[in-house]
Amino acid sequence: MSQAHALLHGHEEHAFGDAGYTGVDKREEMQGKTVKWQVAVKRGKIKAMCDGAVKDLLIAVERVKAQIRSRVEHPFHVIKNLFGHRKVRYKGLFKNTAQLFSLFGLANLVFARRLLLSLEGSNPS
């Protein structure tokens, strides 16, 4: 069963997904929503294409989609690796939400510290 409809809060205009979301806009639970899905093309389809300008353009478009997804997913990567939040413990939606908010706050502090330390090292005075 697809859970793509549960991932959206209703105010999105664009949603980006990997190749696992292929056909999400055709599913019946997504009908009536005005979200424009940007879904990655499966690698097999790109490899099967003949070399040329169209294939190069498609690869460039897929790279842009991947860059956008990586900007969104990077904070989750930091939380998983830095704080060991690898498994969600179902203690209740409110408790999980509170834990994630505190972890994102701590991650922001870590990022700010790294930024300040890098700026401090570049100052010649």
In a domain, 1, yes or no: no
Helix, coil or strand: residue 123:
coil
Same-domain check for residues 29 and 62: yes
Segment 12-34, tens digit of pLDDT: 788 888 887 888 777 777 777 77
Rounded to 5 degrees, φ, ψ at 100 are: -65, -40
Q: Write down the pTM of the prediction.
A: 0.61
Percent of the chain at pLDDT > 70 equals: 90
Domain that holds residue 89: 83-125
| For the chain, counts of helices (H) and of strands (E) | 3, 2
Of 32, 53, 72, which one is at a domain's C-terminal end? 72
Largest CA distance in the chain: 63
Is there a domain that residue 2 lies in? no
* Residues 29-68 pLDDT 10s: 777 777 788 888 888 888 899 999 999 999 999 899 889 8
Residue type, 53: A
**What are the phi and psi torsion angles at 124 (to 5°)?**
-80, -5
The answer to whether position 101 is within a domain reads yes
Number of domains, the chain: 2
Judgement on whether residues 111 and 60 belong to the same structural domain of the protein: no
- Contact criterion met (CB below 8 Å) for 40 and 19: yes
